[in-house]
Amino acid sequence: MAILDLKREINTRGFVKIRVKTGKKEFKIEKGDDGLFMVHVTSKPIEGLAHLEIIKKLSKLLGFKVKIKSGLNSKTKIIVKE
């Protein structure tokens, strides 16, 4: 399951690199063949709505608060524990 792999990686390395796809039908996390996690969000990248969705949903699924360390203007982002 991708969420368990994502949690393990962020706990081990202190961060995780994700690629975001916006405007999807449902929130979903997949692990790609290249090891990068694909996070599908329902929000559009307008006024930070996609960032808020990423932070809220990942924090809830992982059981601890996260923040976006870098990649605010990119589809590839680095997520860290807060």
pLDDT tens readout for residues 26-37? 999 999 888 899
**pTM confidence score:** 0.92
What does residue 55 show for φ and ψ, rounded to 5 degrees?
-65, -50
Under CATH, to which class is 2-81 assigned?
alpha beta
Which of 14, 22, 20 lies closest to 37, judged by CA? Answer: 20
Tell me the two tokens of residue 4: 């368990």
pLDDT higher than threshold 90 for residue 1: no
Provide the pLDDT for residue 10: 95
Give which of 56, 81, 61 is closest to 2, Cα–Cα: 61
Report whether pLDDT(65) > 90.
yes
Domain locations in the chain?
2-81
Cβ neighbourhood burial of 57 (10 Å; 0-12, 13-18, 19+): middle
